[in-house]
Amino acid sequence: MSIAESLASMEEALVAWSADQSDLAGLRAAFNAFSRSAAVQSIALTDSALRQRVRRHVELLARMATFAEGTPDNAALLVPTACRHADAVIEALDAHYNDAALPSYQPLPLQDAAGLIGWHPRPAQDGGGGTSGGR
């Protein structure tokens, strides 16, 4: 399974879990599959900025899975952020595979809960740019 495909599966599991917060086993299984895929396939990514974005997504989802086990309401608050970040990672993967510049990106504030909830992939004053892509 590709990183992009496992991202989509993980996003489906997150949305399903957030609907009623009952399928914790499904959420954990989706996270395990995604993190394995990301760990193995990130080795082939030659753009370090892209690898970092994938690693940040794994970290975000690991925190969410941990929260889901203990404080599910806190994890549910992060579902929109996880979906936005998944979209940003897929957009960056697409650029990388097409030898284009990576889209601009605002790193996840993983140590700031309020900042994490309100995170968006690009700074408000985004004028384009980004890092160079390529394989």
CA distance 117 to 8: 20
Predicted model pTM: 0.84
In this prediction, residue 128 carries a pLDDT of 44
CA distance 11 to 17: 10
| 8 A C-beta contact, residue 27 and residue 35 | no
In this prediction, residue 73 carries a pLDDT of 87
- For residue range 74-127, what is the model confidence (pLDDT) as tens digits? 889 999 999 999 999 999 999 999 999 999 999 999 999 899 999 999 876 544
- For residue range 8-50, what is the model confidence (pLDDT) as tens digits? 899 999 988 988 888 899 999 999 999 999 999 999 999 999 9
* Largest Cα span, the chain: 42
**Which residues 6+ apart lie within 8 Å of 71 measured at CB?**
none
DSSP line for 7-50: HHHHHHHHHHHHHHS--HHHHHHHHHHHHHHHHHHGGG---HHH
In this prediction, residue 23 carries a pLDDT of 85
**Phi and psi (nearest 5°) for 23?**
-95, 65
